[in-house]
Chains A and B, each alone.
Chain A
Amino acid sequence: MKINGIEERRLINRLIDGDQTAFELLFRFYYPGLLVFAKQLIFDPTEAENIVQDFFVNLWVNRAKIKDSSSLKGYFFTSIKNRAFNYLKRVKVREHIIEELKQLTESDSLFQPDVFIESELQNKIKTALNKLPRRTREIFVLSRTNGLTNDEIAEKLNISKRTVETQISNALKVLRIDLKDYLFLLLILGVDLF
């Protein structure tokens, strides 16, 4: 994989040698995705930030111990998961809930790392989203990101609820077509959940 046009393997080697620029490039590449990933496990945004940031501090301090590898993706996401679960244990979230959350991260396709970092899947979703008319995208994203109901969106944007519904359904039609080869990657929910 390439990060800013540089092979990730080279960045990892430079990081091990103590190159701060390599560290910064890796940070900028992985941090946003890891943070949003962590926020799905820990609902307190400040704690989620702390966990991901402390992970990177630790990565720098212990960079000499990184095993020479070609990609950090698996290692990074697993580490964040472990740190998150440890945190939940520490703040006494019940064991069975942590267990269920663990299983969800394994089975729910919306937890796969490729959703969170630059990947073929992510690029497809991005391109599809960007193709939507600006207004449609705004409505579509408002509906989920901010958890607004259609009524609330209608009020916020000063349009009718009907328009909101139509826009969202239009958006979905477009996305379904654009993502048809990748849809299954998002839709699968593991069968071995229970």
Chain B
Amino acid sequence: MQERGEIKDSDKSYSKFFNYRKNLSEDERIREAGALLNEIKRVDVDSAYNKVKYKIDKQYSISVNKTLTWITRIAAILAIPLLLLNIWNFMKSGDKKFLAENNFTLQEITSPIGIRTHVILPDGSDIWLNAGSKMSYKIPFVRETRKINLIGEAFLNVTKNKLSPFIVKTENTQVKVLGTKFNVKSYPEDNNIEISLTEGSVMFYFRNKQGRKVYTKLKPNQHLVLNKINKKVTVRNEKLSKYISWHKNILIFDDTPIQEVAKTLERWYGVKVVITDEEIRNYKFTTVFENEPLSRVLELLELTSPISIKYNNGKVNTKTNKLSKSIVTISKK
């Protein structure tokens, strides 16, 4: 306890320590015990726990697959039985000709907050469902059209099938495609619906201010935003990586307003983010995170901007036995 020198002087400091410990008077031993307890009380357990979690995450991602996180691995495993179930349902349903339109079961897939799910549909299309999103479709899936309902965000890689257009329905809008890769972001609590198209072409149907059903056709590398309140549509040619990289477990902020960052972190990590100072609401972030645990993301955000971040662990409510969300508080430095 007494002298803490460098390891190279270690022999000397250990001798000193031994001498000190062996010659403590009774009183001094009591004081020593009190001091040890005081030191224990001051240990920063939160940051130590975050470090350990980070080390564990790193070990897992290295030992299994560099690009797959824990969660996607689980999601990928879930996708297989789902696919089998669909195939089984499809086979069971027999000859398509005799299928009445109302003869179906509804398949629903939910990706809770903090989890992203990868689903393979019966037609071979890939769908990545972002955190806090839900999709449903009818089984058998392939008819004259392939329809899914979406609440939240999904990245879709749709298998080409000229005979059966693929339709994504979300709120009062529809995205109609033949075979493409695109992202749909439509969280009910957001003001905008956003479509990003990386390949092929899509038609976006919506109701305009007059309530008439109209559509806009998108070309690759275009990003469409529909303002749900004034029904205004804007289409821009831009780099789409920041909109779609989430499905590869990469978070890209590119001049992203702090409130948008907060929302993303809330969905991504299942925490609550509170911004305390009005002044920093105009702040924007530009950075990339690949498979980083929350602790690291917060650390980096704090390092690169004039904000300070506090993390409070969620607590168990003794009545309901439920864990409340951990709270991230962002304030001005």
Set of chain B residues within 8 Å of A101, measured between Cβ atoms: 14, 18
- A110 to B22 Cα, complex, angstroms: 11
Contact present for A43 and B10 (CB under 8 Å) = yes
Contact with B35, one of A33, A52, A144 (Cβ below 8 angstroms):
A144
- Please give me the residue from chain A that is nearest to B60 by CB atom: A61
Contact with A31, one of B13, B14, B43 (Cβ below 8 angstroms):
B43
Can you list the 10 inter-chain pairs with the closest CB atoms, starting with the nearest? A144-B35, A32-B43, A43-B4, A145-B35, A32-B40, A57-B55, A141-B38, A97-B14, A144-B31, A36-B40
Residue interface bits B1-34, CB-to-A below 8 A is 1, else 0: 1111111001101110110011000110111111
Given A60-B56, A93-B14; A144-B7 close (CB under 8 Å): no
Q: Which of A148-182 contact B (CB under 8 A)?
A: 168, 172, 175-176, 179
Contact present for A91 and B7 (CB under 8 Å) = yes
Pairs across A and B, CB under 8 Å, 30 listed: A21-B323, A31-B45, A31-B48, A33-B40, A36-B40, A36-B43, A40-B1, A43-B5, A43-B7, A45-B4, A53-B51, A54-B55, A57-B52, A57-B56, A60-B56, A93-B7, A116-B40, A122-B37, A125-B34, A125-B37, A140-B34, A141-B34, A141-B35, A143-B31, A144-B38, A175-B34, A183-B30, A186-B29, A186-B30, A187-B26
Chain A residues with a Cβ closer than 8 Å to the other chain, count: 55
- A93 to B11 Cα, complex, angstroms: 7
Contact present for A49 and B30 (CB under 8 Å) = no
- A91 to B6 Cα, complex, angstroms: 11
State how many angstroms separate the Cβ of A115 from the closest Cβ of chain B: 6
> A36-B40, A147-B1, A187-B26 known; 5 other A-B pairs, CB under 8 Å?
A35-B48, A93-B7, A101-B18, A115-B36, A145-B39
Set of chain A residues within 8 Å of B48, measured between Cβ atoms: 27, 31, 35, 49, 52-53
- A160 to B36 Cα, complex, angstroms: 26
Q: Which of B213-237 contact A (CB under 8 A)?
A: none
Contact present for A144 and B32 (CB under 8 Å) = yes
- Please give me the residue from chain B that is nearest to A108 by CB atom: B21
Binding site for B on A (CB under 8 A): 21, 24, 27-28, 31-33, 35-36, 39-40, 43-45, 49, 52-54, 56-57, 60-61, 88, 91, 93-94, 97, 100-101, 104, 108-110, 115-116, 122, 125-126, 129, 140-141, 143-145, 147, 168, 172, 175-176, 179, 183, 186-187, 189, 193
- Please give me the residue from chain A that is nearest to B13 by CB atom: A43
Contact present for B49 and A24 (CB under 8 Å) = yes
Interface flag for B59 (CB, 8 Å): yes
